[in-house]
Amino acid sequence: MPYDFAGGVLTVKAAAPARRAAQQLTIRYRADFTAIPPQETVGIEDPSFGISATIREEGTYLSAGVPWFPQLPGARGRHRIEVSAPAGVTAVTAGRLLHSATRAGRTVTSWQSDLPMEGLALSAGAFTVDRDDFDGIQLLTFLSANNAALAPGYLAAMRRHLAFYRELLGPYPYPKFAVVENFLPTGYGLPSWTLLGSSVIRLPFLLDTSLPHEIVHSWWGNAVEVDYARGNWSEGLTTYLADYLLKERAGAAEARDYRRKILRDYAALVTDRNDFPLRSFQGRMAKYQQAVGYGKGAMTFHMLRREVGERTFWRGLRRMGAEGNGKSLGWGEIERIFSSETGRDLRWFFAQWVERAGAPRLALDGVRIKPSAGGWTVSGTIRQHGEPYRLDITLRLTAANGAVVDHAIRLNGPRTPFSLATGDRPTALEADPENELFRRLAPEEIPATVNDLLEPQRPLVVVAEGREPLREAARDLLRGLHWEDAELRGEQSVSPAQLAGRDLLLLGWPVRRELQPTLPASLEIAPDGTFAWQGSSGDALFAVVTAPDAAATTALLLAETTAAAAAVAPKISHYGRYSLLLFASGRNLVKTTWEPAASPMKVLLPTETPP
């Protein structure tokens, strides 16, 4: 049969059949996928590490974006895939597992995928396969011999999360869910399976963090696909329904803290220079993009839930799942569905949160208290800096006896006056006390964290006297923070003028007093550099504080040995939202974030009435 193959496109010149009849075309081809994974992954934010297709002795990964099998351009097809591999090597892709058997030195695995898709991802390796069934849904694990003992825990967690999300979001859209181990350090959510790296799949907290996140992707991003030309909404929604919602189920305090962490990440990572609208988010290649696409995206769905109400929000999501199954949706369809469910035009909501870059900047102003009939009146103004947002905000009055009274206020302009009446004398007024709104935190609300080091101002690394071996041990730390080009000096060669306005990383405890940072009283550091945090000690510590002039950030790495420093150096950049980290033998013991010193959203009220 005549054909032409050029530029990756196969054109077959088939003769027209004599009468209408199905035709079968067999294509035999060969392809080599030899991409080499990077040896050093510290500091690489691209979750694919640049690998889209590779076949290696340790395993195989072929992404859906690589044409590893013939596909009609733009066509969405059903697939039956049969993979023949050396004995003991099992292949995994989308759909239901039909059979897997080994004979004559080959292992043959067959899969049937009935949901139309443009492409398929495939993984293969020497797996131990375990299975379970949940109401007709295949539950499968494909793990290496070293991790095979993890299968029962993963299977039980799959049952638990699928039961919860099926009740919340509607029918699970696939015939199976599988956890598959990857030789690359990935964390992918693929149609009906997730691909987790060997180094992370052992982490016990994945069962209630990454696993539910990837299960939720079965609905959002896989069954209901993303129209990337109009913005990737699925990461924000998945983060909200998995990472955030599990915190909400744990308790109100955990949920509030998670929302606060989203605001801190945005404040630390996103600047006027790199900010962009949610509609422009495609995927995470850098942490600032994650702060917008995942963080602001999650908060946008949280605010949508508060705007439309509980029943309408979950009903709207189930409608999204039903109408969008097998289709690509954009933010426009989400707006249409929720406007329809509420019977209200939500154009204003999506215009300000999805199509507009940035976040509200809010502050209380001119707050006063005075006695009134039967109690007290607190008055003042809420200011919005820049173009105002339409917001519903809570103002909370707290009395000396702990009694709390909340008042709801609608903001529409740059200045909104308020007057609040209460019985018990209040001692404090706070705006948005539960962090329900996405906003840009004021500088005084932002504690110094590891994330602050990712956008450095003229970074300077200073090696404490007698701690020169830390220079090489901290190499992975500098790579993770993207400080490879930072100026590096010994303690005795730095002058005060060279420190002004610069972000500073201290390797070891300096001898010179002017180089020693001001630290919380709970962090005890002896002159020889030994340390303890609230009575707990380890062999390595990393802390980040704001410089006294508030114009820069100072970080400190202390370690009992060079080996202890080298063990934690590649890990520190992954703890972006924390101010202090304490380690022992490379294992994290303590991670905490400093409390902010003040906030323009909180005012302490006088306890005595002025004359």
What is the pLDDT at residue 3?
Answer: 86
Express the helix, strand and coil content of the chain in percent, nearest 5 each.
30, 30, 40
pLDDT in tens, 184-193: 888 899 999 9
Q: List the one residue out of 488, 422, 426 whose CA is nearest residue 461.
A: 488
Listed range (9-18, 300-309, 490-499) with the worst mean pLDDT = 9-18
Four-point Cα dihedral 404, 600, 577, 242, nearest 10: 50
3-state secondary structure of 73: coil
Name 426's bridge partners.
399
Average pLDDT over every residue of 34-49: 56
Q: Which amino acid is at 229?
A: A
pLDDT tens-digit map of 195-205 = 999 988 999 99
Residue whose C-alpha is closest to residue 102's, from 115, 118, 91, 117 = 91
pLDDT of residue 543: 97
Show the tokens assigned to 450. Answer: 């590891």
| Span 100-126, pLDDT tens digits | 999 999 999 999 999 888 889 999 999
What does the alpha-carbon distance between residue 297 and residue 74 come to, in Å, rounded to a whole number?
28
User: Which whole number is the average pLDDT over 226-231?
Assistant: 95
Best CA proximity match to 154, nearest among 130, 185, 125: 130
DSSP 304-327: HHHHH-HHHHHHHHHHHHHHHTTS
**Which residue is associated with the tokens 């071996």?**
469
3-state SS track over 163-203: HHHHHHHCCCCCCEEEEEEECCCCEEEECCEEEEEHHHHCC
Can you tell me the distance from the alpha carbon of 420 to that of 237, in angstroms, rounded to the nearest whole number? 36
Characterize the bridge pairing of strands 90-92 and 122-125.
antiparallel
Task: Please give the domain boundaries of the chain with CATH numbers for all domains.
Answer: 3-216 (3.30.2010.30), 225-353 (1.10.390.10), 361-445+600-604 (2.60.40), 450-592 (3.30.379)
Q: What is the pLDDT of residues 272-329, one digit of tens each?
A: 999 999 999 999 889 999 999 999 999 999 999 999 999 999 999 999 999 999 999 9
582, 589 in Cβ contact below 8 A?
yes
Q: Residue 43 pLDDT > 50, yes or no?
A: no
Over its C-alpha atoms, the chain yields an Rg (Å, rounded) of 28
How many CA atoms does the CB half-sphere of 146 hold within 13 Å?
A: 10
Helix (H, G, I), strand (E, B) or coil at 277: coil
Phi and psi at 506, nearest 5°, equal: -95, 125
* pLDDT above 80 for 55: yes
The model's pTM is 0.87
Share above pLDDT 90 across residues of the chain, in percent, rounded to a whole number: 76
Q: CA 186, CA 182: separation in Å to the nearest integer? A: 7
- Rounded to whole angstroms, what are the CA distances from 104 to 98, 110, 127, 428? 20, 17, 19, 78
Higher pLDDT, 349 or 31: 349
Torsions phi, psi of 68, nearest 5? -85, -5
Least confident of 7-11, 206-210, 436-440: 7-11
Comparing CA positions, the residue from 566, 556, 488, 489 lying closest to residue 525 is: 556
Strands 504-507 and 553-559: parallel
Is residue 477 a contact partner of residue 575, using CB atoms and an 8 Å limit?
Answer: no
44 pLDDT more than 60: no
Q: How large is the average pLDDT for residues 252-281? A: 96
Q: Are 341 and 319 in contact (CB under 8 A)?
A: yes
For the chain, give the mean pLDDT. Answer: 92
Residues 6+ apart with CB under 8 A from 599: 430, 442, 444, 445
Does an H or E element contain 107, and which?
A: strand 106-117
Fill in the amino acid letter for 242.
Answer: A
Q: For 519-572, how does the pLDDT look when each residue is reduced to its tens digit (9 = 90+)?
A: 998 999 998 888 999 988 899 999 999 887 667 899 999 999 999 999 999 999
Nearest to 92 by CA among 61, 118, 133, 66: 61
Q: In the numeric block, which tokens belong to residue 477?
A: 């730390």
pLDDT value of position 267: 94
Helix (H) or strand (E) holding 124: strand 122-125
Confidence of residue 610 (pLDDT cuts 50, 70, 90): low
In this predicted structure, what is the pLDDT of residue 551? 73
Provide the token pair at 40.
């050093």
431, β-bridge pairs: 395
Q: What pLDDT digit, counting tens, does each position of 392-415 carry? A: 999 999 998 999 999 999 998 999
- Weakest-pLDDT range from 50-59, 150-159, 252-261, 586-595: 50-59
Encoded amino acid at 529, one letter:
G
Alpha carbon 347 to its chain centroid, in Å, reads 27
> Are 535 and 553 a contacting pair, CB within 8 Å?
no
Look at residues 272, 246, 275 and name the one whose alpha carbon lies nearest to residue 258: 246
Beta bridge partners, 80, equal 112
pLDDT at 184: 85
CA–CA gap between residue 385 and residue 579 (Å, rounded): 28
pLDDT exceeds 60 at position 183 = yes
Going by their DSSP bridges, the two strands 128-134 and 137-143 should be labelled as antiparallel
The region of weakest confidence among 382-386, 419-423, 534-538, 542-546 is: 534-538
